[in-house]
Every structure is written in structure tokens, then in C-alpha cells.
């Protein structure tokens, strides 16, 4: 089985976020970037298939040279090869088209993407990728088993879970539950050393028209000042007349 794991290069959630050029560009100065958490769950599940079923695991990212340390981390975790599509990922549809070209060229049986990335939270790329590839698709996937060309997946739905039977080729949008946080892997020294010699291929993008454009970023409004009260009646009055929650 040949697996492709889509890796997004996203800011660490502890990073301080700022914008430049009249709030039209994200300021990357001082920002630590990591593997998108939903993608990391998927990568860990792919490593399980590699160890238990002999699958080969490739990782792919659409981005500039600055994303290569994130791909190298994925290689250090255990992926066999990495691919970077040399394009600035500003639009979900154009990213999906780049990934579809990689899938078509590589002949992958299973594509594991995150449900969404934690920077733009678009949640659209995995579904569009499946459509472009003509593959089956399971989103919000929290469990995946593969037996030959058959797959059993469990996905999260409103108010519960749904178990699905499908077949390869398959694209999933994974999230926490695909593996548990305790199963996530930290690269060891041997993995880091091996990652230096593993292939990292750089591909030029295929032609794709962006369907969306970022006009401006805006930070959430700052939190209001905290008010301290020392009696129940004052608290009830504030909740009723000011917060208007009762």
C-alpha cells in the first residue's frame, strides 16, 4: 500500500500573531511553525500502517523553501520520502489541484489529510482533492482500518459516530481520534540523522487558478476589563443588566 500524507506548515498556537501591509499580510517574524496537528494525527496513523502492513509513506506540502524543516521533521518521524510543491498556498482550490497532480503522478492508494489546518481553518482541501482524484472520501475521520483494497472508517458526526465501509483509492480528512495524543511521535536522534539522507523532491506547480483571495486580516476584539464583585446581588445585577445573560 502506498500512502501520501498531506502536511500543512502552520504557526504554533502559542505564537503571537501580527499582520503587516495594512493588515493584508501575515507577519512571520518570530513565529514558530509546526506540523498541522490534524496532519500529525494522520502521519502517526500512516506510520502504524507502515510498521504493521509494510506500507510506504510519502509526505507532501504545498509551500516555499521555508516549509522544508517541517517536512524534514515528518521524515524524522518515519516517512520515507517528502515532496514540496513550490507554490505559495493562498487558495484552497489551487492547493487541492497541486496535491491532485502529485497523487496522479505517484499512484497512491490512500491519501491522509487533516480535516482542516489550524491557520485558515478552511476545511475544504481534502474534499476537493478527493473529487479531483475521483477517490472515495471520508471526512472528520477518527478511525481507519485497511484490509487489502477495503477500508473501514469511523467518522464523527453531530451527536455521535458513523461507521463506513469503502474501498481504495481513498482520501480521508483526519483529526484527533485517528490516533490519541499519547501516540504522537517525537523524532529521536536516529530519525533526525536518517531524515537528512531521505529524498525531498521539489516540484513546480501545475497551472491552477485561485478562486479566492485574502483581502484583509482582523484580530478579535480585546477582552474587556475584569470586574470583581463581593456580593451575590451585585453579580446578579451585572449578569442581568450588563452581560444580559440572565
The predicted structure's pLDDT at residue 120:
87
How many residues does this entry show for the chain? 246
For the record, the C-alpha cell of 67 comes out as: 516549509
Domain boundaries defined on the chain: 2-220
DSSP 206: P
The predicted structure's pLDDT at residue 165:
97
What residues have CB less than 8 Å from 30, skipping those under 6 apart?
Answer: 15, 16
The predicted structure's pLDDT at residue 60:
98
The larger pLDDT score, comparing residue 84 to residue 210, is at: 84
The predicted structure's pLDDT at residue 245:
86
The predicted structure's pLDDT at residue 32:
93
The predicted structure's pLDDT at residue 214:
87
| 78-120 per-position pLDDT tens digit | 999 999 999 999 899 999 999 999 999 999 999 999 999 999 8
The predicted structure's pLDDT at residue 8:
97
Supply φ then ψ for residue 192, to 5 degrees. Answer: -65, -40
| 2-61 per-position pLDDT tens digit | 999 999 999 998 888 899 999 999 999 999 999 999 999 999 999 999 999 999 999 999
**Helix 37-53, helix 68-77: angle, nearest 10:** 30
State the Cα–Cα distance between residues 66 and 186, nearest whole angstrom: 21
The predicted structure's pLDDT at residue 221:
86
> Count of CB atoms within 10 A of residue 208's CB?
16
In the block, cell 506500507 appears at 55
| 148-193 per-position pLDDT tens digit | 999 999 999 999 999 999 999 999 999 999 999 999 999 999 999 9
The predicted structure's pLDDT at residue 63:
97
% of the chain at pLDDT higher than 70: 100
Mean pLDDT of 134-144: 97
Domain 2-220 maps to which CATH number in 3.30.930.10, 3.10.20.340, 3.30.1330.10, 3.40.50.620?
Answer: 3.40.50.620
pTM as predicted: 0.89
The predicted structure's pLDDT at residue 225:
83
Amino acid at each position: 500500500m502506498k500512502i501520501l500524507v498531506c502536511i500543512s506548515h502552520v504557526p504554533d498556537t502559542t505564537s503571537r500573531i501580527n499582520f503587516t501591509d495594512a493588515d493584508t499580510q501575515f507577519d512571520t517574524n518570530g513565529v514558530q511553525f509546526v506540523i498541522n496537528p490534524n496532519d500529525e494525527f494522520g502521519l502517526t496513523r500512516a506510520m502504524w500502517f507502515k510498521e504493521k502492513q509494510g506500507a510506504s509513506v510519502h509526505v507532501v506540502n504545498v509551500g516555499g523553501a521555508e516549509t522544508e524543516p517541517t517536512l524534514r521533521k515528518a521524515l524524522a518521524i518515519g516517512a520515507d520520502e517528502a515532496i514540496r510543491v513550490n507554490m505559495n498556498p493562498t487558495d484552497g482550490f489551487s492547493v487541492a489541484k497541486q496535491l491532485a497532480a502529485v497523487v496522479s503522478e505517484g499512484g497512491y492508494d490512500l491519501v491522509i489529510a487533516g480535516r482542516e489546518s489550524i491557520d485558515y481553518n478552511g476545511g475544504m482541501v481534502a474534499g476537493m482533492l478527493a473529487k479531483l482524484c475521483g477517490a472515495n472520501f471520508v471526512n472528520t475521520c477518527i478511525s481507519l482500518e485497511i484490509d487489502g483494497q477495503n477500508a473501514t472508517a469511523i467518522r464523527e458526526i453531530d451527536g455521535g459516530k458513523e461507521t463506513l465501509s469503502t474501498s481504495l483509492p481513498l482520501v480521508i480528512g483526519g483529526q484527533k481520534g485517528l490516533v490519541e495524543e499519547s501516540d504522537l511521535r517525537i523524532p529521536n536522534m536516529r530519525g533526525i540523522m536518517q531524515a537528512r539522507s531521505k529524498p525531498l523532491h521539489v516540484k513546480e506547480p501545475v497551472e491552477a487558478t485561485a478562486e479566492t483571495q485574502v483581502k484583509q486580516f482582523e484580530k478579535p476584539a480585546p477582552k474587556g476589563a475584569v470586574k470583581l464583585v463581593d456580593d451575590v446581588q451585585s453579580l446578579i445585577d451585572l449578569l442581568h443588566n450588563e452581560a444580559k445573560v440572565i
